[in-house]
Structure 1
Amino acid sequence: MGPAEKTAEKKSAAAPRRSRLTPEREGELYAAVLDELREVGYDALTMDAVAARSRCSKATLYRQWQGKPRLVASAIRHVKPFDLSGLDTGSLAGDLYELADRFCHSRKDVELAQAIGVALHRNEDLAEAMHETIVRPELERMDEILDRARARGEIAPDCPAADFLPHMVIGAVFARSMVEQREADPDYLKRYLDNVVLPVLVRS
């Protein structure tokens, strides 16, 4: 064996092997992360604790997720706190009603995301990981809802209120709990869509 082959062999032996987790194993690991998160909160959660709880090596956790922010964001994304994939009812009103239903049906998981709200303001890496894995994909799907509404002529191409659709919908959910101390149920959100969101989108 020549020098080049020996060098290549040494590099191959030294290179870490990236383990492939099965979907079942990955689901178990995410469940352990979320259980730990519920019990101790984001700040007190450690990779050591997750490794022990999930019976997974810490090296594997870092190799797959690079650190706590991405691991937590991926675990929350796994339970799909707010998933708009495949949403297309054929009308703007229908799409927004379906959006409201999906949001309300996932309240338990949304509350899990809310539980790390304080940490999001203090931890830039966590905020970026959450935005990349959870927020950005759903914002893009909201844009698709609006693009289809424009193509159908339901809203103006330059509708100024369209940029604020996520703010209006998400803001209503959190505002009701603060103002009325009540959960934003489907009936409330549909009344809000009929009286606030749809009128401002269609008339803008």
Structure 2
Amino acid sequence: MTVTGTARRSRISPEREAELHEAVLELLREVGYEALTMDAVAARTKSSKATLYRQWGSKPELVARALRCAQPVSLRDIDTGSLRGDLRRMVELSDDGQMAKDTALMRGLAQAVHSSPELHLALRQLLMEPEITGLGVMLQRAVDRGEVASDNPAVRFVPHMLIGAFIALPLMEDRSVDRAFLGDFIDSVVFPALGV
């Protein structure tokens, strides 16, 4: 099973699409994934359910695309000429307020993926894989430049390290990841593991 929304043709302007995505995220924060319905999204956005289904196909895909569009920049688009610069730029482009909101959303969605294989698939394909691919491109450039040894076993675990930081900090310290923590984590954990 794959998410097929990319094949649909949009009749919605980019501005309207952004408005719909923001409404989905607001509803998610208010009621959680399980209670979020296409009817509620349609009512909140003054659109029809048919339009929502035609554009996004399903609730899991709509949620995953809304989360994807909330990302400030794709990691693939960051290229400062060094891995240190790239990861620092990633931190600079992050927003503490947005990360706090995203942490709360992801905490709720982490529960929902256990009961919804469709949500799990949509989040993985539309949210996680593009970022992991972008991070992979960033790391490969660092290997190609000689910043990171090509046989360094930690390279393949960088996504796990970063995702783990976002999951562990709220669990261990009951706070959201912010730019200061993310920068410290990268300097103290990621760079040493990569030998940078």
Larger-Rg structure: 1
| TM-score bin, normalised by smaller chain | 0.7 to 0.9
Does structure 2 retain, via aligned residues, the 8 Å contact 1:142–1:166? yes
Q: CA offsets, 1:17-74, max 9 Å, x none?
A: x771112222222222222222211111111121122111111111111111111111
Q: Which has the higher contact order (CA 8 A, sep 6+)?
A: 2
Distance in structure 2 (CA, Å) of the matches to 1:88 and 1:63: 36
Task: Give the direction of change, closer, same or farther, for the CA distance of 1:50–1:101 in structure 2 (3 Å limit).
Answer: same
Within the candidate set 80, 92, 95, 1:101 is matched to: 92
Q: Find 1:164's aligned residue among 157, 160, 179.
A: 157
TM-score normalized by structure 2?
A: 0.84
Work out which of the residue numbers 196, 199, 202 in structure 1 matches 2:195: 202
RMSD: 2.2
* Distance in structure 2 (CA, Å) of the matches to 1:81 and 1:72: 17
After superposition, what is the alpha-carbon deviation per residue over 1:57-107, rounded to whole angstroms, capped at 9, x for unaligned? 111111111111111111122222673242112111222222233345441
For the residue of structure 2 that corresponds to 1:189, the secondary structure is: helix
Pairs within 5 Å for 1:29-178:
29-80=20-71, 83-105=74-96, 106-111=98-103, 112-178=105-171
- The equivalent residue for 1:6 is none
- The sequence identity of aligned pairs, in percent, is 47
Please state if 1:192 is matched with 2:185: yes
Paired AA for residue 28 in structure 1: E
Report how many aligned residue pairs link the two structures: 186
Alignment gaps of 5+ in structure 2 = 1-8
- Provide structure 1 residue ranges, at least 5 long, that are not aligned to the other structure: 1-17
TM-score, L = length of structure 1: 0.81
